[in-house]
Amino acid sequence: MVLVDGKILGTGYKLYVDNFYTSPSLFRDLLQKGIWACGTIHSNRVGFPQATDNRLPRNAPRGSMRWIRNDKLLFVEWKDTREVLMCSSFHSANGDRTVQRRMRTRSGEWTEPTVPVPAAVADYNKNMGGVDLSDALISYYTVLRKTRKWYCALFYHFIDTAVVNAFIIHQQMALARNQKPKTQREFREALVLELADWNDPAPSASTAAAQITGGPSGNACHRPKYITEICDDSRRRCRVCHQKTLIICQACNAYLCFQATRDCFNPWHDEHNL
């Protein structure tokens, strides 16, 4: 609350947040300072009413809702594809808003019936669409992995955010040019290939000369050779498949896989007429 600019207090701002920030005590403090708030909330959050007799049954039809008011806060439970819990300091429990949902009937046919929706849910979706979309895109192909170091999780989240932002820009640029944008998977695969090529060492002068003339200079022979120091630091990326290898060409000084199941040595030399 110390970070809130005093000039905006009591000016009618409405704050929408996700379940990470929603807290009944925070919403009450904001309300005292003239800021309304609305957001999704977990049922185990401190301050959430534990009135089990007013909860929706598991088999409740889509569009069913329950609500309870605690002081000036409204808690709403709404059944969509799953249960949605909301907390708001300015919405009313009653309303006539509806939303269309695609549903399958018992006969297997798809329909789009109109179901009632609480005002808190409708306004939240309207104002939080961009944030929820970003979170959804990140969750599909997140690079985050379980770690004990908090800064690693923060670093992975920044990578996810950067990739998703780049993907959104790609979509906007493609649509502006009347082109079909890539899917997120196709975009990420293209990004991985670009990043993998970025770290490839530049060919040496002798290698470039060999590629131009069509063969090695002098009496050098294109033979595979193991790197003398066998350790993790000595491994380099293959010029073809970009996997780590301990094989290098004596003449080209190029790292190439040369195994029974993965032979990149011969195809690479054939491609460069060496």
**What pLDDT score was predicted for residue 233?**
52
Q: What is the pLDDT of residues 133-188, one digit of tens each?
A: 777 788 788 888 888 888 888 899 899 999 999 999 999 999 998 989 999 999 99
Per cent of the chain over pLDDT 70 is 84
Residue range 109-115: mean pLDDT, rounded:
88
**What pLDDT score was predicted for residue 15?**
92
**What pLDDT score was predicted for residue 37?**
95
- CA 166, 129, 21, 40 torsion: positive or negative? negative
By CB neighbour count within 10 A (0-12 exposed, 13-18 middle, 19+ buried), where does 228 fall? exposed
| Single-letter code of the amino acid located at 46 | V
What band does 104 get if pLDDT is binned at 50, 70 and 90?
confident
What band does 217 get if pLDDT is binned at 50, 70 and 90?
very low
Q: 42 and 85 in contact (C-beta within 8 Å)?
A: yes
pLDDT of 213 > 50? The answer is: no
Does residue 139 or residue 30 have the better pLDDT? 30
Does residue 56 or residue 197 have the better pLDDT? 56
Q: Given phi > 0 = left and psi -120 to 50 = alpha, else beta, which region is 253?
A: left
**What pLDDT score was predicted for residue 220?**
61
**What pLDDT score was predicted for residue 203?**
54
**What pLDDT score was predicted for residue 120?**
93
Q: How far is CA 134 from CA 111, 118, 163, 180, 267, in A?
A: 28, 24, 11, 20, 42
Q: What is the pLDDT of residues 222-234, one digit of tens each?
A: 888 887 654 455 5
**What pLDDT score was predicted for residue 218?**
41
Residue 249: strand pairing partners: 224
Residue range 87-109: mean pLDDT, rounded:
87
What band does 245 get if pLDDT is binned at 50, 70 and 90?
confident
Within a 13 Å sphere around the CA of 55, how many CA atoms are in the beta-carbon half?
13
- Name, of 8-12, 49-53, 86-90, 92-96, the range with top average pLDDT: 86-90
Per cent of the chain over pLDDT 90 is 28
Nearest to 19 by CA among 75, 65, 88, 86: 86
Mean pLDDT, the chain, integer = 82
pLDDT of 81 > 80? The answer is: yes
Every domain of the chain and the residues it spans: 6-127, 134-198, 205-271
pLDDT of 54 > 80? The answer is: no
